[in-house]
Amino acid sequence: MSAPVSAPHAVPFLNVVDPEFDFGSPEVAQAQAASWYANSPIGLMVLRYAEAQDLLRDQRLDHNGKRFMETNGIVDGPIYDWFVPMIANHDGAEHRRLRGLVNRAFTPRTVSNLRPFIRVTVEHLIDRLCTVETCEFVEDFANSLPLAVMCQLLGVPEEDFETFRAWTTDIGLVFSLAHGGDIPARVEAAVVGLNAYVDSLIQKKAAAPGDDLVSAMIAAQQVEHRVSEEELRNLLVTLVFGAYDTTRLQLANAMVAFAGHHDQWRLLARYPELTDQAVDEVMRWFPATAMAYRFPTVDFDYRGVRLPKDTFLMVCVVPVQRDPRVFERGDAFDITIPRQTPPVQFGGGPHYCLGAALARTELQEALPALASRLGPPTITGPVSWRPPIGLQGPYALPLRFG
């Protein structure tokens, strides 16, 4: 990928493909202070909130899944065949048609009905944390909660949880393909595995429907004929990582944030009424989505910058959501500040993230329960991180609670 962007003055350059790159670093904050955007080895990086909101809603930009694959050197194969027709890569009537079926997964009633299950699962996982001096939080909690919720939602039997785990962890690396290495092979293996599993799940639910989302979507597809069988499989595979990967990363990122701010943990333990603000703040401060990408559909100028057709543009979520021009004390993690400005990590308009309400519900149940029963988290060893581009968070997070 390249960044053929012209501008009348020098702008910052950020090496986002460096494995050690950190969106929350002083270098990025300095770049944001100097300019609303920076150049990088792969495209223009939007650093400020106002411009991010403008461009995410600009109809001259789209997701262009085909172009995203091509810029990462993928022109065919399982990843291409799954990603290009994904619901997020459609707009207009086509997007509304697909979204009409998948909306059933995340109605307020569906999410509300899952809350008791989420609460019981949270307490069970905390019971296990209480029996150990230290834990590997990703494995012991962050993976387990959204995996159980997703499987409950889809009607996946408990004995298949472990089969699901590796695939659902690796498929979200599709947004990190620019980092190369073993990432393309891991994503391809996840897509192939999930395609086969979802096909078998559809066959089982068609033969013996249950009270679950997959059964409901199959019935709707058979009655309404709004989507094909191939589209149904694509929607379900996309739902699997959408309902799991970002939430597990957000839970882990929340612990990293609180590990550096024990006073905020104690506030949440003492004042559980701060829960909604705490959830908003961890999503603002350390979001699981590091960037939202777009491609111009035509050549056009924006704020004096030429944006050529089909060039890669990244909205960098961390600096955007810390922009001091918009957020009061945006450079501080503080759950006592009511944030009125909506985050950008969930997108907006027709493409607003379907799983946002479910992710928020899981954090609303998990964070106050953890804080009320356990002391503040402390990181006790090295943390291994996912690549900076794409979904962000730790692969492993060793913790001791208070």
SS3 68: helix
Res 105: pLDDT: 66
Residue 390 region by backbone torsions, left for phi larger than 0, else alpha for psi between -120 and 50, else beta: left
Q: Are 41 and 177 in contact (CB under 8 A)?
A: no
Residue type, 277: Q
Q: Which residues pair with 293 in a beta bridge?
A: 314
pTM of the full predicted structure?
A: 0.90
Contacts of residue 135, defined as CB under 8 A and 6 or more positions apart, other chains included, come to 129, 141, 398, 399, 400, 401
Q: Are 191 and 233 in contact (CB under 8 A)?
A: no
Res 213: pLDDT: 82
Q: Are 50 and 59 in contact (CB under 8 A)?
A: no
Task: Out of 3.40.50.11290, 3.10.28.10, 1.10.630.10, 1.10.760.10, select the CATH number for domain 26-401.
Answer: 1.10.630.10
Res 299: pLDDT: 97
- Per-residue pLDDT of the chain (402 residues), as tens digits, is 444 444 445 799 999 999 899 999 999 999 999 999 999 999 999 999 999 999 998 999 988 999 999 999 999 999 999 999 988 888 777 777 877 777 766 778 888 999 999 999 999 999 999 999 999 999 999 999 998 998 888 888 878 877 777 788 889 899 899 888 999 999 999 999 999 999 998 999 989 988 888 888 888 777 777 778 888 899 888 887 777 888 999 999 999 999 999 999 999 999 999 999 999 999 999 999 999 999 999 999 999 999 999 999 999 999 999 999 999 899 999 999 998 888 888 776 666 677 788 899 999 999 999 999 999 999 999 999 998 888 899 999 999 998
Among 360, 145, 341, 137, CA closest to 257:
137
Res 164: pLDDT: 75
> Angle, nearest 10°, between helix axes 356-373 and 262-270?
90
> DSSP of 144-197, one letter per residue?
HHHHHHHHHHHT--GGGHHHHHHHHHHGGGGGGGGG-TTHHHHHHHHHHHHHHH
**Cβ neighbours, 10 Å, residue 341:** 15
> DSSP of 90-107, one letter per residue?
--HHHHHHHHHHHGGGG-
C-alpha span between 91 and 102 (Å, rounded): 15
Contacts of residue 136, defined as CB under 8 A and 6 or more positions apart, other chains included, come to 396, 397, 398, 399
User: Beta strands 135-136 and 398-401: pairing type?
Assistant: antiparallel
Q: Are 325 and 49 in contact (CB under 8 A)?
A: yes
Res 377: pLDDT: 98
Q: Are 377 and 360 in contact (CB under 8 A)?
A: no
